[in-house]
Amino acid sequence: MGDCLAYAHGSPLGSAQTPDEPEAVELLRRTLAVLGQRNGCFHFEAIREPDGRLLFLETASRIGGAGVAETFELRTGIDLYQADLRYQLWGDTGQIEPRPAQDHYGWFVFPGHHRTEQAAIDFDPDRFGKRLHSFVRNTRPAAHAGRISYATAATPLSGFVQGSAAEVRHTLGEILTQQAVMEQR
């Protein structure tokens, strides 16, 4: 939810897990085969057109940033960093058995790199109840103006939400659009 370019210019960003979509899985498989990606961790990004069509945007042979690995582990029980390290060291991931959770998860992050002064986010965690899995609020984020970062320590507010796929999208929408940024002097 949102996009990386808007994040670079100061807008919050988030991502919600969804149930598998056959069209998305097929695009993923076709694209990775054409690019020769066979083993190891990767991240894959696509854009959904207004008519529902998916368009390939990018892929890279690394784990996605922000809260991707953490929400993946919450949903599947698989630690992508451990699996990737094991593959890099021994060329094998061993026996990985997913332990699917009933809930879906999502992550959100508010940028801190676009300001020269400190900012705080007006955020009431109690408002979200059990939908808010966890969050970190930094009154003095370690962001540097002009250096884009999704790292928890560099942002004024980040966190994880949980629930059904629809609840996760709804909660992220609430968080990303209804929080106020307050200047701190």
pLDDT of residue 40: 83
- Mind listing the pLDDT tens digit for each residue in 48-65? 899 999 999 999 989 988
The percent of residues above 90 in pLDDT, for the chain, comes to: 64
**CA 4 – CA 47 distance, rounded (Å):** 12
Q: 3-state SS of the chain: helix, strand, coil percent to 5?
A: 35, 25, 40
**CA 56 – CA 43 distance, rounded (Å):** 12
Q: Residues 103-117: what's their mean pLDDT?
A: 87
Is the model's pLDDT at 117 over the cut of 70? Answer: no
pLDDT of residue 122: 85
Is the model's pLDDT at 178 over the cut of 70? Answer: yes
pLDDT of residue 116: 58
Instruction: Compute the mean pLDDT over every residue in the chain, rounded to the nearest whole number.
Output: 90
**CA 82 – CA 40 distance, rounded (Å):** 11
Is the model's pLDDT at 184 over the cut of 60? Answer: no
pTM here is 0.89
- Per DSSP, 145 falls in state T
pLDDT range class, residue 112, cuts 50, 70, 90: confident
Angle 160-164-165 from CA coordinates, rounded to 5°: 80
Task: Give the position of tokens 């003095």.
Answer: 140
pLDDT range class, residue 145, cuts 50, 70, 90: confident
Query: Is the sign of the CA dihedral 49, 53, 58, 61 positive or negative?
Result: positive
Q: Of 112, 125, 13, which Cα lies nearest the Cα of 66?
A: 13
